[in-house]
Structure 1
């Protein structure tokens, strides 16, 4: 039996996410009686444009601080929905954006390239996390052109892969004011993939020790082939993607050591995709790099989606009791950003 189980967790949802981007137009307008406005914006990138929604608080003192949200792996639209039954209401980036805008912080959330209203679909087969970081840099550059925005008070909030991309951008741009990493990768992707396949096999029914050993060996063989530049023709098409090669070789700890801005690391204790100890790895690496303003917050009984869970496994996603991020997550993030961005009301 030859298959790469973790690829479903890491990149296997990409085609579904792309299909989501082709659904009818979504209403991104502000709720009735909101204390902020919602403006549809178009952002120039490298050979294509990106589409997003900019929330602007109505009564806050200008120029405004702003948060730019960064979605996780797979091509996601700006609200970061997930393709699981009973989680149709899961829109974490919209929740975060509206909560922060209600506290006087502007928020820009953007469709990833190739989905929703964004162009660049023809670049996806060659794109990497570093490529997506360039898109974020284009979004930051756009925000700096807006008269309503204070260019010295721009923060990044990234989830999952977005939590890995945020340090990439901050490390190369000292004008970024702060970053929030929600379940961002804390170690090299090949190690994460091995963790994921072992966990998936341990919880899969009918997996014998022989099958488990075979699966793990095949995964390691694929990793070795990708890292060494060997012939990949016998492996699934996903294994040949440049994105995966970077994922399996990129060291997020090396990058976060270069980040000098304030960092908030947020993690669910039941996260089975990016395990909780990885937040500690990032915290240690950032402090080793000389950053003294690092905060780590572990939320009990939350999974990778920052939703209440019992086991944290992907199989459980379809039976979760709620699709809404808890008020505690939004409050802790909001309180921290209000301080770091020096919000004036």
Structure 2
């Protein structure tokens, strides 16, 4: 009886264990399958369903995966891929094996609690998923919390000042919600690993963003491209045997910047060096504008004439989001501090002559040359070049630019809608000028939510005349200007001449046909020609080299 009881008690125990194993197996099998649309959308893959054929086409970058309900046969970019199990429609949606999806789309990730968890090494999936989560944060506050674990402490801190959800709303309002990944390309510099991500959106536009990853793999910043890249062509004087380039880091701490040192290939060192300071906007180290790269042209051209150069990413490009959260942000943080960091770097490099450090400022950077010299307490700068630098207040120049655009539109008889938009732009800026010029407001005292972008920046820089500072300075200067500049007219060179008339160590040069980026153009410049490939003429570089050498 005891044996029977023992046997009898053992049977249900074994049966229960077997049932438990079967349940676990079924659970594992269920967990290994995912809803195709849910999983694909999470990483920015686009799913198109054909009800007549029961086929789904999944597009993820350059990979196109076609699967059919009930069949283990599929194709990936035209090549056969046999699945481990047949997809099937469950509750109105196609369910596919997770591992097959990973293989087809070439991702390394796990499916955990209904979410994609990409491996750290899978930059493409991590980047595309982050963009999808960021965009979703525009309307879903919980997504802001979800992406916090992907951010560096510095970016989290910036998000407290300029909320990520608000930023996402602005971006998606402009471009639309991302719907299909186009591509992810990866580059690395001495500061960040960068993933350039582009998406198609539901507005039919292209959303392009560069995610900047810190060394620990967390997102440290985001840079959104609002202007498409042009088709740059190297100048005829670009002799790769005449120079060497190496990556450098400008500055230290939270806003250190990646840069490039270009030195002549010939000689034993002790080279004069020119630090290149950007104009307005979030410029890269080459100052890429349309299809031109003014700073790159200058670097390779001057190297051939025995002069080294330093160029670097602008702070508002490398730290685009973090810069918006800097309290009382001014041109000092935007431009001046980093220019002086570059000068300090030049002074410590043994290959460079620390007695012959020069600075070139282009456009807004040219305006700021006198302030850079004023804050050069080490007196390290031997001379300065101002290239197309406005001689008067930037806010007034912007009104001139807007009015010029409107006048050209009317002259060209553009559609009424286009003219109306330009008229609205002029009217809006005139209203902004009333705020900017209001002397009751200062860098340290202004009401919240003023509709002028970064108020502290404007109140620090308004009514600025560089010549008023430069007229009492002693550092030699060379001012150059194109006479076909639609942004900063040649009359600004006259403004500098008038302000500096008492000085004897200032040289000037006006170049025929050159536009704002110092590229020749036969027709009157409108800015549209920036799209055309062009280079800084060799005579500009030769004049600059001669002037630098005469200061030694």
Answer yes or no: same fold by TM over 0.5. Answer: yes
Cα shift at 1:125: 5.0
* Secondary structure class of the residue paired with 1:177: strand
The answer to whether residue 468 in structure 2 is matched with residue 274 in structure 1 is no
| Cα distance in structure 2, aligned partners of 1:16 and 1:220 | 32
Gaps of at least 5 residues in structure 1 are 1-14, 24-30
- Matched with 2:260 is 53
Name the SS of the counterpart of 1:144 in structure 2. helix
| 2:282–2:314 CA contact under 8 A, matched in 1 | yes
Structure 2 residue runs of 5 or longer lacking an equivalent are 1-207, 211-222, 229-237
Does residue 287 (structure 1) correspond to residue 497 (structure 2)? The answer is no
**Mapped partners of 2:250, 2:423: distance in 1:** 48
- Once residues 281 and 202 of structure 1 are traced to their aligned partners in structure 2, the CA distance between those partners, rounded to angstroms, is 24
Change (3 A) 1:129 1:234: closer
Q: Does residue 1:181 correspond to 2:386, yes or no?
A: yes
Alignment of 1:313 with 2:519, yes or no, is no
TM-score between the two structures when normalised by the length of structure 2: 0.51
Contact in 2 for aligned 1:307/1:326 (Cα 8 Å): yes
- Structure 1 residues 233-279: Cα deviation after superposition (integer angstroms, max 9, x where no partner): 473xx534533444433222222223311111111111121111111
Structure 1 counterpart of 2:429: 219
Partner of 1:329 in structure 2?
540
SS, match of residue 47 in structure 1: helix
Note closer, same or farther for the CA distance 1:210–1:112 as it changes in structure 2 (3 Å cut). closer
User: What residue is the counterpart of 2:375 in the other structure?
Assistant: 172
Q: Compute the RMSD of aligned alpha carbons.
A: 3.1
Among 295, 298, 311, the residue aligned to 1:96 = 298
- For 2:331, the equivalent position in structure 1 comes to 129
User: What CA deviation, in whole Å up to 9, does each residue of 1:114-154 have, x standing for no partner?
Assistant: 43xx4575124544322210111111111111112221110
Deviations 1:4-24 (A, max 9, x none): xxxxxxxxxxx9994359x9x
Question: What count of residue pairs does the alignment treat as equivalent?
Answer: 307
Q: Deviations over 1:270-320 (max 9, x none)?
A: 1121111111211221234xx3111111111111111122111123433x4
Aligned residue for 1:104, secondary structure, equals coil
- 3-state SS of the aligned residue for 1:282? helix
Pick closer, same or farther for the CA change 1:232–1:134 going to 2, 3 Å. Answer: same
What's 1:199 paired with?
404
Equivalent positions of 1:33-52 (< 5 A) are 33-45=240-252, 47-52=254-259
Higher relative contact order (CA 8 A, sep 6+): 1
Higher mean displacement: 127-136 or 40-49? 40-49
CA contact (8 A) 2:301 2:538 kept: no
Over residues 155-197 of structure 1, what are the superposed CA-to-partner deviations in whole Å (9 max), with x where a residue is unaligned?
Answer: 0112111212222212333331111111012101122112112
Aligned-partner SS, 1:249 = coil
Q: Which residue of 2 aligns with 1:300?
A: 512
Residue 65 and residue 41 in structure 1: after superposition, are their counterparts in 2 closer, same or farther (change >3 A)?
Answer: same
> What is the alpha-carbon distance in structure 2 between the residues aligned to residue 147 and residue 240 of structure 1?
40
Q: Does the C-alpha gap of structure 1 residues 240 and 169 become closer, same or farther in structure 2, counting only changes over 3 Å?
A: closer
**1:113: how far off?**
1.3
- Structure having the higher strand fraction is 2
Greater radius of gyration (CA) = 2
Is 1:76 aligned with 2:287?
no
Q: Counterpart in 1 of 2:314?
A: 112
Given that residues 256 and 282 in structure 1 are in contact (C-alpha distance below 8 angstroms), is that contact kept between their aligned partners in structure 2? Answer: no
TM-score normalized by the length of structure 1: 0.79
